[in-house]
Structure 1
Amino acid sequence: MPQKQERIQQQSKPSMTWLFQYLRPVKWRMLALVLLLFVMTALQLLNPQLVQRFIDQATGSGSVSSLLSLAGLYLLIAVLNQLFTVSVDYLGNDVSWRATNRIRADLLKHVLLLDMRFHNTKTPGEMIERIDGDVTSMSNFFAMFVAKIIGSFVLLAGILGYMFVYNWPIAATMTAFTCMSIGVMFGIRDMGVNASQSERQANAALFGLIEERIAGIEDVQANGGVPRLMNRYHRAMRSVFLFGRRAWMRRVMPWNVTVVMFTVTVTIVLMISVHMYLRGQITLGMLFLFFQYTQMLNDPIEQLGDQMQEFQKAKSGMRRARELLSLQSEIAEGGDNELPQGPLSVSFEQVNFGYNEEQRILHDISFMLQPGERLGLIGRTGSGKSSISRLLLRLYNLDTGVIRVGGVDIRSLRLKALYQKVGMVTQDVQLFDGTLRDNLTLFNPRLSDEEILETTNRLGLLPWIEALPEGLDSRLSAGGASLSAGEAQLFALTRVFLTKPSLVILDEPSSRLDAATEAILQTAVDQLLEGCTGIVIAHRLATLDQVDKIMVLRQGRMIEFGARAALAQNPSSEYAQLLRANRQEEFA
């Protein structure tokens, strides 16, 4: 609950206030950055004055040594200014990436905790764009925010301050231009935000399409889907282009306005300066100084205009990031942290569930497993077998009814407490980019090599590990292409075995295996289920010879539940009929 309240409070904060909170941990780096900016601005303001003195002395009675001194000082200041510029850019990027990486981390953690209903509607490509792409637009803005925005205002103040000392009419003209330019930019600063947000969404859709089709490349190639995919790709790219063009045209509007205003201002300042020079009121060097300061005035104004464009892209990213952070998981954490030790009982009490409101998957499911019992779940595809396992792990919330594990309503448990006691082996095994040890332990450093090797030996995976050139230190690539189907299932069993669960769910672990490999796997499964309560979902009835009870599902309804031996001996039972049909297929 505190985390939810915090996210709601974050959503109610203004965009910039929300973003600036991520800068607090780097406030001292920002202070150093601001100090560097003041020094760099002072050096920028000093150089035109050196040129002014050089010109006046060169056209007057200045000595060669004084001219050389001015030239040397100018060169030294130029080098120092360049060093400070590099330092400011480095610190700006450092501050930016430190702050926005925290945003990425918060977004990723939040997304990983959202329920499966959310993830079922999003592709990985789209989520990558939401977590990284949107934040990168913020990072680009913040990388130069202090250097460009604050630096520009400091430089503007310095230029106008000097000009009021030298000549107030020109200074007043420049001040009027500066105020109008900044006013226009801030007045229409949000013009391109909505369009930029649509551009980001179009990019997310494009990346989602690419990721989805690459993930299914075998089906795309085997079924001649490349032309159709390219057609969808071109349509997605057209959307990116149209939304991008519209967003760019709106973002550059402040810059276009300031260009026109600057042209008018430069003309007025030059006319006044030349008039004063011709009347002998200023020197040639002073004329250059006025011109140079006027040109310098354009730089911070342009930088502010550029940052207005970056700000609009960043603000669209902020909106999308905060929108993502405001989403709440339907899976509410409970307050209980512990389940009983040893094998756990499992009970379903009038459980109803559907993935959406229109279609119910499970209807009034009720059964009871005693600690240490093994249940075999059978039924046709779509009968609801996997839904029962997903509800046990709280990947979804049930609609009505109660599920108890170890006598405790799972809704009252913290998810961590549930996952520590319940393990699940699925058909698909996900490998991560890392060592074999990391993949087996899921990056748990507390598990020793002795435990890992002892477990893999019991499950028959040790010969495969010993055949690898570096053993547990061998690196595996993400995806799982380096494992056979049998090795993948043994791999998944090892992962669960190492967690020492009290309840194990096996979701069709032998569906892709040949008979010989299935026999090896069955031995490993029997070892895994020793001292545990087990639920085995299977199409092959032979894998259920060691279970205690059988449940038969049909269209989400439990049509049979009882002791396996009793059901097998009852010729009228659904399970006995399935056994007879299975034997006939084997002898056919």
Structure 2
Amino acid sequence: MSQQTTVSSNQIENLKQKENNQKLSMTWLLQYLKPVKGRLFILLTLLLSSTGLQLIQPQIVKQFIDTAAAGEVMTTLLKLAGLFLIVAVFNQLITVFVSYLGNDVAWRSTNRLRGDLLKHCLRLDMKFHNQKTPGEMIERVDGDVTNISNFFAMFIVQVIGSFVLLAGILGYMFTVNVPIALVMTIFTALSVLFMMFVRNLGVQSSKNEREASASLFGLIEERIAGIEDVQTNGHVSYVMNRFHRLMRAVFLKGRRAWMMRVIPWNTTVVLFAIAVTVVLLLGVRYYLSGDITLGTLFLIYQYTQMLNEPIEQLGDQVQEFQKAKSGMLRSRELLSQRSEIVSGTKNTLPDGPLGLAFKDVTFSYNPDKPVLQHITFSLRPGERLGIIGRTGSGKSSLSRVMLRLYNINSGRIEIGGVDITQLELPDLYRRVGMVTQDVQLFDGSLRDNLTLFDDQISDEFIMETTQRLGLSHWIDAQPEGLDTHLSAGGASLSAGEAQLFALTRVFLTQPSLVILDEPSSRLDAATESILQTAVDQMMEHCTGIIIAHRLSTLEQVDRIMVLGGGKILEFGGREQLALDPNSHYAKLLSSGQKEELA
């Protein structure tokens, strides 16, 4: 008995939680309508006008029929016909404008939601982004919100308009014939109550459909991004197999979602057929008994038909609501994600080059596989550190935790004598620059790509920096110089040019501490020499860390760190380690690995 009581209590608690979530979702979503409340007021005014005109039209036809049946003069009939035409034209014009304004309100409000979702995603940490494909995020930011937008676009127009029209029809019918009005009212009440009862029936199915669609888009984006590997390794058949399996999942979940969503519509069709039959039988009876005129009989029939339209629209909107509700839930789920990287409050780093200290730092991407283990070292302001190690030794991870792309498991990292967890993230990124091996170009001008859309950087400084890096000749060769348009992806740049491009970006920010991750891995000897000269000039004014494969790029560093298995195997002055025959660095130099360290 006690167990049953517990289960019952849990069920009640779950139902309450669902109701609270639904209220919260709608309240949260309605905040996006506040900036367009002026347009909403105009829209509602037009809706009332349109509803009034729709109610007037059948009454004009009723008057026309009764006038014709009474044998009145043609002039009166023509006036009624002209009035009907004018009302119909005005109603159509208002309908067009209402549709336009409804979509305008929907897109204005949901575009703010798209912006909030994208901004939130950009602020989430790398741990989150490593678990999500770009295709899936596109579906979350755009696909889910489009469903909400479609609902918003027609909800105001159809749902509010439908209820106003229903109230007008039923209210007027009570002045015409009470029994018939009661039948129509019962039909309307049953239809609306049933739709309210099943409004959430297809929400979970619609959510599953969106998730299947997101997985499909994720696969497409992933495989297109890796098209070279797919083609060269003969994986087209494998990709197509996965594609067809995901397409089947989309179809099956979409079919189930559609079946759940059409239940309200099918029910209203049956109820409407019954209601029309009863109303027509009653109407014909009253007409034959002389209680109503032929025009009134037509009016009853016409209003009965008009009654079906708002009921159908409400049924359609219940389907849209279910899709929109799934979009709301997924959007709120995304916005509820919290980054593990929390910005600090300090922005008081000292001027000039910044010192760096790692104090017993341990880090892992997965709990059972540490990547960095008890790393401890320090650099004085202005010093240069070269980091070498085999693939998987933890070189790149060291730079990622330094920039707080990930939080460390334990220990402390200080930059300029300040714990990086206490620094405001914008201040950290402003003072610490990093050049990675992969270069991302954006759709925009060459200038915007170099400055990352910072209009405070002058063209003169850009050209001076590119001159030092040996990139100016490439810019001069472009048809419009810094105004040359670059497409996303950087297909117009060679691998070496892209790397110089990334270096220029960092140099333009004038960092106090710079991290170069494999800066010369894609450069030929001549370009590497130009790069080395530029790097030397820049590092005269900042602290530098160079993660290298080629030992030749470390000839100007002050200190060397050798990593292995996530641990520091060796740390000391470069010249001192080079002269020590027992050091790891000296052995690497003497073994002929001067060009490449795998």
Which TM bucket (shorter chain)? Answer: over 0.9
Structure 1 residue 583: Cα displacement: 5.7
Residues 196 and 215 (structure 1), Cα distance of their counterparts in 2 relative to 1, 3 Å cut: same
Structure 1 residue 449: Cα displacement: 1.3
Q: Does 1:102 align with 2:84?
A: no
- Counterpart Cα distance in 1 of 2:378 and 2:258: 62
- From 129, 139, 142, give the equivalent of 1:132: 142
Q: Does 1:467 align with 2:477?
A: yes
- Counterpart Cα distance in 1 of 2:468 and 2:535: 11
Q: Does 1:32 align with 2:42?
A: yes
| Aligned match of 1:152 | 162
Residues 484 and 399 (structure 1), Cα distance of their counterparts in 2 relative to 1, 3 Å cut: same
Counterpart residue identity of residue 297, structure 1? L
| Aligned match of 1:86 | 96
Counterpart residue identity of residue 448, structure 1? S
Matches within 5 A, 1:395-414: 395-414=405-424
Structure 1 residue 530: Cα displacement: 2.1
Counterpart residue identity of residue 122, structure 1? K
SS in 1 for 2:493: coil
Deviations 1:362-409 (A, max 9, x none): 010000000000000000000000001000100000000000000000
| Aligned match of 1:239 | 249
Whether the 8 Å CA contact 2:124–2:339 is kept in 1: the answer is yes
Residues 429 and 69 (structure 1), Cα distance of their counterparts in 2 relative to 1, 3 Å cut: same
| Aligned match of 1:391 | 401
Deviations 1:257-315 (A, max 9, x none): 11100000000000000111111111111111000000000000000000000000000
Q: What count of residue pairs does the alignment treat as equivalent?
A: 577
| Aligned match of 1:334 | 344
Residues 186 and 26 (structure 1), Cα distance of their counterparts in 2 relative to 1, 3 Å cut: same
Residues 489 and 88 (structure 1), Cα distance of their counterparts in 2 relative to 1, 3 Å cut: same
| Aligned match of 2:17 | none
| Aligned match of 1:320 | 330
Deviations 1:326-378 (A, max 9, x none): 11100111111231110000000000000011110001000000000000000
SS in 1 for 2:412: strand
| Aligned match of 2:452 | 442
- From 46, 56, 74, give the equivalent of 1:64: 74
Deviations 1:455-513 (A, max 9, x none): 11121111111111111111000001111122111111110111110000000011122
Q: Does 1:382 align with 2:376?
A: no
- Counterpart Cα distance in 1 of 2:21 and 2:290: 62
- From 537, 541, 552, give the equivalent of 1:527: 537
- From 269, 292, 301, give the equivalent of 2:311: 301
Q: Does 1:250 align with 2:260?
A: yes
Deviations 1:171-218 (A, max 9, x none): 000000000100000001000000000000000000000000000000
SS in 2 for 1:516: helix
Structure 1 residue 584: Cα displacement: 8.0
Structure 1 residue 582: Cα displacement: 2.4
Counterpart residue identity of residue 79, structure 2? S
Deviations 1:228-252 (A, max 9, x none): 1100000000000000000000011
| Aligned match of 1:5 | none
Whether the 8 Å CA contact 2:466–2:472 is kept in 1: the answer is yes
SS in 2 for 1:257: helix
Q: Does 1:424 align with 2:439?
A: no
Structure 1 residue 70: Cα displacement: 0.8
- Counterpart Cα distance in 2 of 1:116 and 1:348: 21
Residues 205 and 467 (structure 1), Cα distance of their counterparts in 2 relative to 1, 3 Å cut: same
- Counterpart Cα distance in 2 of 1:562 and 1:47: 92
- Counterpart Cα distance in 1 of 2:22 and 2:551: 56
| Aligned match of 2:353 | 343
| Aligned match of 2:568 | 558
Structure 1 residue 454: Cα displacement: 1.6
Residues 440 and 334 (structure 1), Cα distance of their counterparts in 2 relative to 1, 3 Å cut: same
| Aligned match of 2:9 | none
Counterpart residue identity of residue 374, structure 2? D
- Counterpart Cα distance in 2 of 1:343 and 1:337: 15
Whether the 8 Å CA contact 2:352–2:541 is kept in 1: the answer is yes
SS in 2 for 1:430: coil
Counterpart residue identity of residue 183, structure 1? L
Q: Does 1:360 align with 2:385?
A: no
- Counterpart Cα distance in 2 of 1:527 and 1:425: 16
Whether the 8 Å CA contact 1:11–1:323 is kept in 2: the answer is no
- From 194, 201, 215, give the equivalent of 1:205: 215
Structure 1 residue 527: Cα displacement: 2.2
SS in 2 for 1:511: coil
- Counterpart Cα distance in 2 of 1:232 and 1:338: 52
Matches within 5 A, 1:216-295: 216-295=226-305
SS in 1 for 2:592: helix
Whether the 8 Å CA contact 1:363–1:556 is kept in 2: the answer is yes
- Counterpart Cα distance in 2 of 1:446 and 1:311: 46
| Aligned match of 1:457 | 467
- Counterpart Cα distance in 1 of 2:61 and 2:458: 71
SS in 2 for 1:148: helix
Counterpart residue identity of residue 167, structure 2? A
Listed as ranges, the gaps of 5+ residues in structure 1 are: 1-9
What TM-score does the superposition give when structure 2 sets the normalisation length? 0.95
Whether the 8 Å CA contact 1:486–1:521 is kept in 2: the answer is no
Structure 1 residue 581: Cα displacement: 1.3
Structure 1 residue 585: Cα displacement: 7.8
Whether the 8 Å CA contact 1:456–1:494 is kept in 2: the answer is yes
- Counterpart Cα distance in 2 of 1:335 and 1:519: 41
- Counterpart Cα distance in 1 of 2:291 and 2:492: 84
SS in 2 for 1:224: coil
Structure 1 residue 12: Cα displacement: 9.3
Whether the 8 Å CA contact 1:490–1:524 is kept in 2: the answer is no
- Counterpart Cα distance in 1 of 2:530 and 2:261: 64
Listed as ranges, the gaps of 5+ residues in structure 2 are: 1-19
SS in 2 for 1:582: coil
Whether the 8 Å CA contact 2:551–2:593 is kept in 1: the answer is no
Whether the 8 Å CA contact 1:375–1:534 is kept in 2: the answer is yes
Structure 1 residue 520: Cα displacement: 2.0
Counterpart residue identity of residue 160, structure 2? I
Counterpart residue identity of residue 193, structure 1? V
- Counterpart Cα distance in 2 of 1:12 and 1:307: 17
After the TM superposition, which of the residue ranges 443-452 and 356-365 deviates more from structure 2?
A: 443-452
- Counterpart Cα distance in 1 of 2:593 and 2:102: 73
Counterpart residue identity of residue 475, structure 1? H
Whether the 8 Å CA contact 2:499–2:522 is kept in 1: the answer is no
Identity %: 67
What TM-score does the superposition give when structure 1 sets the normalisation length? 0.97
- Counterpart Cα distance in 1 of 2:184 and 2:236: 60
Whether the 8 Å CA contact 2:550–2:594 is kept in 1: the answer is no
SS in 1 for 2:456: coil
Counterpart residue identity of residue 63, structure 1? V
- Counterpart Cα distance in 1 of 2:62 and 2:540: 90
Q: Which runs of 4+ in 1 moved over 4 A?
A: 10-13, 583-586
